[in-house]
Amino acid sequence: MTQLKNKHFVLGLTGGIACYKVAELCRALIKEGATVQVVMSEGATQFITPVTMQALSGRPVFISQWDSRESNNMAHINLSREAHAILIAPASAEFVAKLLHGRADDLLSLMCLARPIDQVPLIVAPAMNREMWSNPATQRNIEQLKADGAYVLDVGAGDQACGEIGDGRMLESHEIVEALKAHFTQKVLKGRRVLITAGPTYEAIDPVRGITNLSSGKMGFALARACKRAGAVVTLISGPVSLPTPDGVERLSVVSAQQMYDHTLSKMHSADVFIATAAVADWRVSAVVEQKIKKSAENSAPRFDLIENPDILKAVASSPRALSGELYCVGFAAESENLEKLATAKRIAKGVPLLVANLGPQTFGLDENALLLVNEHGTRQLPWASKEDLSAELVKEIASKLAN
């Protein structure tokens, strides 16, 4: 299940052009299974209408602390008590200063001050001009807000509505949603360093042709996000895919199996967990042709000698750190038949404590999967679900093994 399902957010808007992004943010939260109650400052209504936010959230929008719809006239109490979190997006420089000093001269600031601090986290997504953001007063306010327990998101950089370029943009909706998921994920891998390989490899035949496979990399990237959310420091070694790098993850892009092997061995010495989701090519041509191979006059097909690529998982699993238990190794296997039998044999052959298997042709390129977990005690099926949800289950499995 998604981390935001059944969560209730009070979404507070303050005055700023970034209010236009909040329409998409509201939709994204609801798509994740959350409910959203919008509270706007008077300034925010100059940039986006309450009608728009009511239509998107499906709830009446609150603006005034004197709103008569509340029977006890205490919207600042009632709204904050119902929330799993209060998210201020965008948070203007003025509102950040107001939060810092505990001012409460409108419904939104009053609600933030009145919230139960130990039960309802305050999450702040700043948005302002680059000079306002870099001003020492703003930076002091941001640091003090963090010290007071608020969860302050980063800002983006780029073109600003004023025509200037720099830091201070509010994060995009997908970045804020990711930050919220991380916030609500148990940090079961806190302090751990996780190394993940993902995607296919590509073995060149000539400058325009090569040997590859149908792996999309989606499972490995989902695992990288899940590990990061769980508190790990994550390094992702990816073959040639077009997926965006998960927030907060170090990514190393490679092409061939040999490149992936070299990067993996150079990074494994500082890792606590190695997860080999990459679909590494088993063979490569013995000699890459320097120019594009042309059809011959006789129209005969060229022939190639293949040599075996290094076995990345087996090399890591047989290393002293893995054998001593310092490095926990997880392998992946994509099969087309006899899944349990072949996966069990592969786990033993690779020498890993956990092997995760699936029927590759049924899931390549999709956002869903079904997995079979194989360890020394037997097998466990994870039924068809999103790769995001399966990754969260795998993180729990790995964390439990590390704890033991």
* Residues tagged active-site: 162
Cβ neighbours for 137, distance < 8 A, ≥ 6 positions apart:
97
Say if CB 130 and CB 167 are below 8 A apart. yes
Neighbour order of strands in the sheet with 151-152: 35-40, 8-13, 85-91, 122-126, 151-152
CA atoms within 13 A on the CB side of 184: 22
Spatial separation of the C-alpha atoms in residues 204 and 286, rounded to whole Å: 10
Structure tokens at 208: 């325009």
Which residue type, as a one-letter code, is found at position 302? P
Closest by CA position to 29, among listed 8, 55, 50? 8
The pair of structure tokens assigned to 237 is 């070694």
Cα–Cα distance measured from residue 400 to residue 212, given in angstroms and rounded to the nearest whole number: 35
* C-alpha 157 chain-centroid distance: 20
Structure tokens at 327: 């490095």
Which stretches within 124-245 are classed as H helix?
Answer: 130-134, 136-147, 173-183, 218-229
Instruction: Fill in the DSSP letter of residue 200.
Output: B
Structure tokens at 288: 């890459």
Please state, in angstroms and rounded to a whole number, the distance separating the CA atoms of residues 141 and 148: 10
Q: Using an 8 Å Cβ cutoff, are 347 and 375 in contact?
A: yes
